[in-house]
Amino acid sequence: MQYQILHNVKGISVSILNRANFFVLMISLLIGVTGYSQSIPEDFRASIDSLIKQAPRTYNEIDIVLNRNDSVLMQYFTNRAIDKNYLDGQAYAFNHLGRKYRNTSQFSKALELHQRALEIAIEADNLEFRVYALNMLGAVYKKSDALLASVDYFQRALTFAETDKNPNIGLKRSMKVSLNGIGSIYKTLKQYDIAIEKFAKALILDEQMNNKLGLAVNYFNIGECQESKGELEEALQSYQTSLSFNTEINSKQGKILCDYSIAHVYVHMGRTNEAHNMLQNALSKAKELGDKSIISSVEINLGWTLLKLKQFKQSKKHLVDGLLIAQNVKLPSQQAEANKFLSELAIAQKDFKSALDYYIKWQTTSNDISNVRNLQYVIHYETQKSQNELKKLQEERDTANQKLRKKNTTLLISAIVLALIVGIFYILYRQYQLKNEKKLLTLEQTMLRSQMNPHFLFNSLNSIKLYIINNEQKNAVHYLNKFSKLVRKILESSSLREIPLAEELETVELYMNIENIRFSNEIDFQIELSDDVDPHTVKIPFLILQPFLENALWHGLSSIKGEKKILLNISQAEDKDYLQISITDNGIGRIASEEIKQNKVLKRKSLGIDITKERLTNFSKDYLNSFNLQIIDLYKENGMSKGTKVLLHIPVN
């Protein structure tokens, strides 16, 4: 089955079956071969003719004859394979030509060549080259940050490879590449323990095959995961092991990456001068290699190292150079990292306006990357899982039907009807599950948008901007730090279903501090935590308290003058299976607030409490008890309103 899929790679729409572009590319390759044909050695011509005559079908049999590092010879072989209709040779050649373009960040050309290799492998019915081409497509999409397409191709490659019960060395190598690619996706999603597990499985295959390049790659990948987890000594050991293998096989690209990563660990360890020397050497080698992605990474991290050394002028030069390259070749992760370091540099130089500009660019890019990667991966994973299960069910039903044909008609009809009923109920059940999962995902996204709505963000930034304009640098830095910490906490918590109570309290306190700027610090906000509640072990849904505090602020306190109070009290309920949370304000009350709302020309329906109730309902499904929410109007002795009290009971372990 041929797949016609249109992917978007870093802003460039690339049709996988764009034959017009492919033929233009092939004409240029063939012209190049013609121009160089006179320089092809006679012994190589004879070897190619002999190879095509024997027509081997495995990767190793072809690879042992060819010099893959010589583009001219590879193009000559491609031309001869096309001329003689040697399909297996064409699949091999197009894949390696595609790798050449991938290594120089020419992703669209690489995709066309690898896709052509896949089509030829399917036509030749060659499983090994089909799996190889799928892995190469996954590698191109991964390098261009298109994770959805990347994991799709890696998983397809692994699935096809596992259909062979006695795989040859080429298929084993491809299975290792697939595991590597899938592990890299988990690493990108910051699921480092799972990623290390995948890399370790690939490492076992590399050791069995004595594949030193694979050993170098997998030790490097494990080192990146260990560094991200803060295991610096272990990461340094893994990088150095990778470097020894790269040195042994003389991989220029591998040695540069290892030097750059070792220097990165050195900076975290405080060995900044050693890191600076290594990065300068790595930069010159990267420029010789010509890989723009590596050049951008080294430039950015050299700028970061110089920032640590307080060499601000040189730091900015390298950071800007790295950022420009990342923008030109569409590398959003490196753009985000460059803007982050430029913001830190501007703060060090007391240029707070530039710091804020770079900070916003960093957060915007990081948020876009995180949302796209996680959302695409989750949706695609669940859809693919459902399709695979339905396909498996269909295969089982077909197998059962073949056996039942030997029996009498009555038994056959009964079995088919039973299988259909089971299939229909299973499909309905899966649709129900997917609908609930989609609803939960939509609910969490809506909740996150309500916590970080544009009014709150821009009003907060305008308040900080006012401090900068008034030259109140301490206040500006103070609230900028609080604002950045709040945004970071919200983004970090958005991927979690529940968090410790201590982190929730820290988040709402940051939120109240930011909002208090707009109330001229008139709000007296207090948190009372009972001694019988351990905030580090009790877990609640993330950002569950903020909508109630926002209501207290903008519907209760914003319209009164004088003293403004909000009290957040947390204690153990009489029933030990519940946590009791109360939020009390001395505002105008719900009746007066509703009257003010009705008199407004522009009425906006608040969805925060409704969303919170739905989230609490989903949260309570894992417990024996459900949540309980009460909103109580408070009155003085004379019948006048004296505020509102929200009483919330949440089930806990």
Q: Is the CA virtual torsion 611, 613, 617, 620 positive or negative?
A: positive
Mean pLDDT over 291-304 rounds to: 87
Tokens 């039942």 found at: 404
- The pLDDT, as a whole number, for residue 473 is 80
Q: ∠ at Cα 217 (211, 218), nearest 5°? A: 90
3-state secondary structure of 638: coil
| DSSP alpha helix (H) spans, 452-532 | 454-469, 473-493, 501-518
Q: How far apart are CA 252 and CA 256, in angstroms?
A: 6
What stretch of H or E contains 99?
helix 87-103
Tell me what pLDDT residue 116 has.
93
Residues near 76 by beta carbon (within 8 Å), at least 6 away in sequence: 33, 36, 37, 40, 44, 45, 48
pLDDT per position as a tens digit, 549-588? 888 887 888 778 888 899 999 998 887 788 899 999 988 8
Q: Is residue 97 a contact partner of residue 65, using CB atoms and an 8 Å limit?
A: no
pLDDT of amino acid 121: 92
Q: Which two tokens stand for residue 361?
A: 């660019």
Q: Name the pLDDT band for 6 (thresholds 50, 70, 90).
A: very low
Strand order from edge to edge, sheet including 641-651: 523-529, 564-572, 578-585, 641-651, 628-635
| Distance separating alpha carbons of residues 192 and 370, to the nearest angstrom | 16
Q: What is the model's pLDDT at position 287?
A: 87
- DSSP helix/strand/coil, 105: coil
Q: What is the pLDDT of residue 68?
A: 59
pTM reported for the whole predicted model:
0.43
pLDDT digits (tens, 9 = 90+) for 441-480: 565 555 554 545 555 666 677 777 777 887 778 878 888 8
Mean pLDDT computed over every residue of the chain:
79
- What lies within 8 Å, CB to CB, of 444 at 6+ separation is 494, 615
pLDDT at 22 over 60: no
pLDDT band at 1 (very low <50, low <70, confident <90, very high): very low
Map residue 21 onto helix, strand or coil.
Answer: helix
pLDDT at 461: 76
Q: What percent of the chain has pLDDT over 90?
A: 14
Confidence of residue 380 (pLDDT cuts 50, 70, 90): very low
> Predicted confidence band at 226 (pLDDT cuts at 50, 70, 90)?
very high
Question: Under a CB-based contact definition with an 8 Å cutoff, are residues 293 and 329 in contact?
Answer: yes
More confident residue, 190 or 246: 246
* pLDDT over 60 (residue 18): no
Q: What size, in residues, is the chain?
A: 653
Which among 568, 532, 539 has a CA at the least distance from the CA of 553? 568
With beta carbons less than 8 A apart as the criterion, state whether 169 and 158 touch: no
Band of pLDDT at residue 389, cut at 50, 70 and 90? low
Residues 322 and 352 sit within 8 Å (Cβ to Cβ): no
Q: Specify the pLDDT at position 34.
A: 45
* Sign of the torsion formed by the C-alpha atoms of 583, 585, 591 and 593: negative
Q: Give 97-148 pLDDT, tens digit per residue.
A: 898 888 888 888 999 999 999 999 999 999 999 999 999 999 888 887 777 7
Report the pLDDT value the prediction gives residue 455, as an integer from 0 to 100.
53
Residue 16 and residue 585: Cα distance in Å, rounded?
A: 60
pLDDT at 86 over 80: yes
Tell me the mean pLDDT in the region 60-66: 83
pLDDT at 127 (0 to 100) = 92
Tokens of 213: 């390049």
Domains of the chain and CATH, by start: 1-154 (no CATH), 164-250 (1.25.40.10), 270-349 (1.25.40.10), 353-495 (no CATH), 501-651 (3.30.565.10)
pLDDT at 120: 94
**How much is the average pLDDT of 216-231?**
91
Instruction: Tell the burial category of 233 from Cβ atoms under 10 Å away from its Cβ (0-12, 13-18, 19+).
Output: exposed
Q: What is the pLDDT of residue 542?
A: 79
